[in-house]
Structure 1
Amino acid sequence: MQEIIIIGGGLAGSEAAWQIAKRGVKVKLYEMRPFKMTPAHKTDKFGELVCSNSLRSKELTKAIGLLKEELKLLKSLIMKAALNCEIEAGKALAVDRECFANYITKKISNHPLIEIIREEVTEIPKDKMVIIATGPLTSEALARSLSELIEVPYLHFYDAIAPIVYADSINWDIVFVSNRYGEGEGAYVNCPMTKEEYEKFVEELLKAEKVPLHPFEEPKYFEGCLPIEVMAERGKDTLRYGPMKPVGLIDPRTGKEPYAVVQLRPENKEKTLYNLVGFQTKLKYHEQERIFRMIPGLEKAEFARFGSIHRNTFVNAPLVLEPTLQLKNYSKIFLAGQITGVEGYVESTAMGLLAGLNAERLVKNNPLLIPPKETAIGALVNYLTTANPRHFQPMNINWGLFPPLNINKKLPKQQKYLKMAERALQVLKKWIEENHILTD
């Protein structure tokens, strides 16, 4: 039986290796540490948490809490490690990072079907079964090899992420829907600002606290995607001539162009999520919440994702990935983890698990798996493969990615999210049973 090569020993690579090996298929797991370290890692252990010791909320009314429950049902190694090494953190799942990495490393190292090779892979073998799980700090040589497979424009090396708000938290009585100069049907939601509102917004933007860059994240901003606070520093009217320009937009309530406009673009087909166009930022999260709620129409905005700018390596998933996580033009090559276009440790783990399941199935000539989009894992995969490739950016799991509930009455948010979680777990259990996924 053909062995499977996995490149990268982070959460996604470790999860994929575990899922494959426990189903009786041999794995060669390549990890370049400690012979070549990344700028962020400190050890040679598998599953090292680099940025945080929190895996976020455990609550079922949070989409990330649901994703954890799904991973538990799928017998995730990473979730077992997290629960084994959990430390008290209220409603969040926090772990002892050393215990966590030691647990994963021991499990991977002791499995008889996993061979660990400590060397850098610089060339992706096209004729073998491969899972690439190298994470946001993929080495330059491997990134070059991947870019050759998928074509360079579809591989990104830096995130410039704008915040995303839930559609039902927008004040639709204040905003208006229109494209510039009234062209087309109207895809953009426009938040109009007066001169006073604009100047106060810029003033607060300039005073706001920013996230410090890591030593390996020297600012390499492109002029086309500068942080809004950097643009604001260039002069008080810079934003009005940039992402907040009102030209060609007429507010139907006044019949005039506003002084400035913040445009929101639908992030998904269902229009449950809206992106603040041009608002990539390094502001701290609490500052984003405070300042962006100064925008007319966003006074009570709820954020599905905050803005950020950081070093990352990820593909333009809608153009290059199948929902099975195979490359469209190389069916033996799978991607897993953040390189697929998801954000976060738990999301990366989920993609590792799915890639592992599908690689094992491909080796055995079994039908490959596409998780239902009512589930958190399926919602992520659906986003990766159906998002608009022109504006694609990595995404955390959030409720805006799920299909709406098939009910007529409006529910309080917490009740609605709980029902969506219950639906997801019910659908996932049925899917697991129908596809004979579990082995223990």
Structure 2
Amino acid sequence: MTASRETMMRNFALILANGFVAFTLLFMIFPGQVQAQSGPPVKIGVLTDQSGAAADYSGKGSVISARMAVEDFGGSVLGRPIELLAADHLSKLDVGLGIARRWYDDDVHAIFDVGLTSIAIGVQKLAQEKNQTVIFVSSGSTDLTGKYCSPNGIHWTYDTYSQARGAFLAYKDDAKKSWYFLTVDYAYGTNIQRDIAEMVTASGGTVIGTTKHPFETSDFGSDLLTAQASNAAIIGLATTTMHAVTAAKQAQDFGMRDGGQRIATPSITLHDVKALGLQAGQNLIVTEPFYWDQTDATRTFAKRYFEKVHKMPNSNQASIYGAVMHYLKAIQAEGSTDTGKVMARMKTTPINDFMTQDGTIRSDGRVIRDMYLFRVKKPDESKGEWDIMEQVRRIPGKEAFKAPDAAVCALAQ
């Protein structure tokens, strides 16, 4: 072999050796990325309303928050890449269930968010049929841990009972007097009116009357005037978040709050207050498990979120981050994506993140966490665009959520 040939072979061997060393170093420094090539992706999906009436309630903001959680987790679990899917169900039952079925058939392990009650109930049944997981974030119905409870479902953020409890506690003695409800003729409205009414009557108060409105209603003038004429101490807007904003604005225009009647808005969140404005919204009470300006930890998350979305997160958009994290940590701890094992691990592991301290998941799937009452600030109290609420009360988790009922849900303990 000639000298030049020997030199060429020696250089080639050196390149191979250096390549092996470089790969070894890559494996040591970035084990998750290298290991991620060793198996099929772990798929999770965010199913929500991204373009309809509830788009600000969760929507694209929830997708971005979930993606932040995946990135912060490292992008892989058990040496497999995490693939995040997102879809807009347009608040249509057939669209939502079609997407969920297709995802589960394509080995999506867990669906997050969902929202609309009718879609949520359908996905709950579908997840059990397919033995996959669903974690409800912006869905409200207590039936998800009641008559429709499932070993495959977790109700993460809030429910109609916790919102009702907040609305009842917000107005102290007035809440024990008399109520008139403006109620959306839909499962959400029925549930939240039922929950508040039970608290009112148990305290010796009365429900004077109810006016129901279709989901498509945008003019509440006649209903509000009927409620005003009832002389009820509190007018309860037992309706969806977007309806409540419209009704609250119209109540302000009619000067109804100047006459001594209180307006209870159990469904509204941060983004609704922003849309309503401080002039119309001042002194309304909001029930949520999170406000961006509560603590250093909430402010840190909110700042990161704001840089991506250019809005502050509401509780749904914040809490999906923790839901995704909790799920991925359970997979990591179990060393498996098996639905039963992961659900069991999630239920035995306390929830601790920037918005939840020592949260727990009950056997019926209900997450127990503290809720808070926030007062909407007056215009002259605000120091900035997003300085719109202040915390006035903490409601401990065991008080905020309805006790489990084994007669309704076989999983309840």
Larger radius of gyration: 2
TM-score by length of 1: 0.31
Structure with greater helix share of residues:
2
- RCO higher in structure (CA 8 A, sep ≥6): 1
